[in-house]
Amino acid sequence: MSRYKPRELLNFAVKAFHSRNDNDLSIGQLKARTEFVKTFNNLKRNNGKSIEHKQVASIQGDMGYLMNCLDRFFFFGCLMSQMKLEATMNTMFEKDPSTGKRWESDTTLSIEDDKLFVKVRLNLGQNKPYNLQILLGRLVHEIVHAWYLYFSCTCEYCERDLLNTTGHPSDQHGPLYLMLHRLLVTEIRRWDATLEDFLADDCPGGKVSRSAKKSFDYFMADLGKDEKEKYNRLRSYNFGAQLFVRLTDDGKVKVRPELKHKQLNMEDTLRGRSLREKELMEDKENYLKPEEENYEEENYQDKYPEIEEEMSEAKYLIDEEEMSEDLGKGLKRARKQYYTYLPSPRSDIEQSGQEGMLLDLRSPSSFLSFYQ
C-alpha cells in the first residue's frame, strides 16, 4: 500500500474536482454524479418514516451505493475496495468531548485475513425517523476520514506534524480534514437543486464544518503539555499564503487557481499526445493494408436504359470474337497434328482428317488445302 503526505493527498483530490466545468470532468465522474443524484432523489421518499430492524440491510446497501458514487467522483474509486460500511441501530459510539453527545458514526483501521482496510460504522438510531440529509452528511464526514486514514504517510516527520494536518489520532479533525470536507460539501451543493442546502446548518455559507472545528478546538485546548511536546506547534492558518489550499482565519477555504489550471494543462497535453498516437496507429494500419483492386459491376441496363440495345449488340460481338479465338486455337492444334502425321501412313492422315472434320473440314484433302 502506498502512503502519501497529507498535504499531497489534499491537493491530489482537490485538483481533480474543485470548480471544474463538466467538460473538464472524466466520464467516470459524470456517471458517478448522475447516479448519485438519481439515487438521492429516489431515497427522499423515505424521509420521516420510522426505521425498523428489517430495513437495516436495505439502508446499508443504499448508503454503500451512495458512498461508492462519492468515492468514484472525488477519490478516483480508490477507496471502495479498501473500505467496508456497516449500518447498525444500537451501536454505542464514543462521546464527542466538545458536546458530550455520542458520535453517530466512526471510521477505524481494521485488519481481516491479514488485509488492512477501513471500517465505517453508521448508526441509524433506535426508533429514529429516516433523514437522508443527516445520513448523507455522515457519509461525507466519514469518507474524508477514510481518505486520510488509509493513504496518509505514518513516518516520523508526518506523525510529528499531525496537529497541522489531519489532527491528533484521538480527534482527526485537523486543518486538512476541515478543508477537504468543506470542498466536498461545496461541490455536492452544485449537483442538484435538491442538494443546494446540503449541511446548511453545519457548514453555513463558505465556512468549514462547525461541529468538526469545535471538536478540533476543544481537543487542542484540552491537550496536556506533555502530549503537545510530541508534536509541532500549531501554526497560524495564514502562514502558508502560497499554499495551493489554505484555511483562512474566518473559517473559509481558499484554493489557488493555479492548482486546477496546471492540472488541466497537463491533462490537455496528455490528451493531445494520446490522440496523436492513436492517429499514428491508424495511419500505420492503413499503410500496411494489402493493396486490393475492387471492381464493382455496374448495372447499365438500370442506369442507362437508352443504350440497352447497343449494349446487347456489343455483347453479341464480344461473343463472336470469343468464338473466333476458340476456333483459332483449334486450327493451331489441327496444324500441329497435320505436320505430325504428314510422314505417317494414309490411315493416320485419314484419322487426322477425321479430327479435322470436327473443325468443319469435310475431307483430308480439304483439310490439307486449307493451309495452302
Would the pLDDT of 359 be above 50? no
The amino acid occupying position 225 is K
Would the pLDDT of 284 be above 70? yes
Would the pLDDT of 291 be above 90? no
Q: What is the pLDDT of residue 293?
A: 54
pLDDT band at 319 (very low <50, low <70, confident <90, very high): low
**Pairing mode, strands 83-88 and 115-123:** parallel
Residue-wise pLDDT for 249-281, tens only, equals: 888 999 999 999 999 999 889 888 888 888 888
Mean pLDDT to the nearest integer, 205-229: 92
Minimum mean pLDDT among 175-179, 256-260, 320-324, 349-353: which range?
349-353
pTM: 0.74
- Considering the chain, what percentage of its residues have pLDDT values greater than 70? 74
Would the pLDDT of 242 be above 60? yes
Q: What is the pLDDT of residue 288?
A: 83
| φ, ψ at 51 (rounded to 5°) | -90, 125
Stated length of the chain: 372
pLDDT band at 362 (very low <50, low <70, confident <90, very high): very low
Strand ranges (E), the chain: 83-88, 105-112, 115-123, 245-247, 253-255
The DSSP symbol for 27 reads H
Q: What is the pLDDT of residue 371?
A: 37
* Joined grid coordinates for residue 55: 430495513
Q: What is the pLDDT of residue 307?
A: 54
Residue-wise pLDDT for 151-208, tens only, equals: 999 899 999 999 999 999 989 999 999 999 999 999 999 999 999 999 999 999 899 9
Cα dihedral sign for 243, 246, 248, 254?
positive
**Residue bearing the bigger pLDDT, 327 or 114:** 114
Residue-wise pLDDT for 32-89, tens only, equals: 999 999 999 999 998 988 888 888 999 999 999 999 999 999 999 999 889 999 998 8
**Residue bearing the bigger pLDDT, 226 or 302:** 226
Cα dihedral sign for 237, 239, 244, 249?
positive
- Going from N- to C-terminal start, the domains of the chain cover 6-268, 313-369
Whether 39 and 69 have beta carbons less than 8 Å apart is answered as yes
The amino acid occupying position 120 is V
What is d(CA 190, CA 194) in angstroms, rounded to the nearest whole number? 10
Measured in whole angstroms, the distance separating CA 372 from the mean position of its chain's CA atoms is 88
